Chains A and B, each alone.
Chain A
């Protein structure tokens, strides 16, 4: 089963709004990854984080690796309709990668 708690499970927002989602775990991870999955497609890597406290941006996306190494968050600024999809966090420790259950994002124009 899943070892990562990802929240929220779903979000309904208006275009232009900012979005925040997070992932927590009882286990320590060395790497945090954030993926986006569109319907009928495989997950696509958005951001990778390698060090505790690291803050990384990729366009309108910003993600942080928590200091305790047990959590991470992803922010999306100024959302647009193509941001719709399911966002997954994944934690990696010694080659073992676990995924969260996903956050389903709906953006209303």
Chain B
């Protein structure tokens, strides 16, 4: 596609519910990143993929968070047993370059998750 596409744009989940957030990166982009952005804050790193390999998941806040990119294109961020503190915008970014070629990385519009 023309840009990074994320779905859904908005998600309201009841506390304890599982959610799955999808990211469609730009076609051919090797690197994919997930970030969490709390209200009034800058994005914070969650995890990074190079093709299908998850090379860094040091930013995932707990074992309730899980990300995958099984075929090296679409990625899913799953949050189990959601808590109110999980409420945030989840941003996906992709880059043509392997490694963290940030100057070629493009962000999606994000998924706003609200846990009630």
Chain A contact-residue range equals 20 to 34
Q: How far is the CB of B105 from chain A (nearest CB, A)?
A: 8
Secondary structure call for the A interface:
strand
- Nearest-CB distance from A46 to chain B (Å)? 11
One digit per residue, 1 when the CB lies within 8 angstroms of any chain B CB and 0 when it does not, for chain A 69-109 equals 00000000000000000001010100111111110000000
Q: Is B96 an interface residue (CB 8 A)?
A: no
Give the shortest distance, in Å, between A94 (CB) and chain B (any CB).
Answer: 9
Residues of chain A within 8 A (CB-CB) of B106 are 42, 45
A99 to B44, CA, bound (A): 7
Shortest distance between the CB of A9 and any CB in chain B (Å): 9
Asked, given contacts A33-B103, A92-B100, A97-B100, whether A42 binds B42 with beta carbons under 8 Å apart, the answer is no
Binding site for A on B (CB under 8 A): 4, 40-45, 56, 91, 93, 99-100, 102-103, 105-110
8 inter-chain pairs at a CB distance below 8 angstroms, sorted by A residue, are: A31-B103, A40-B110, A41-B109, A42-B91, A42-B110, A97-B100, A101-B41, A102-B42
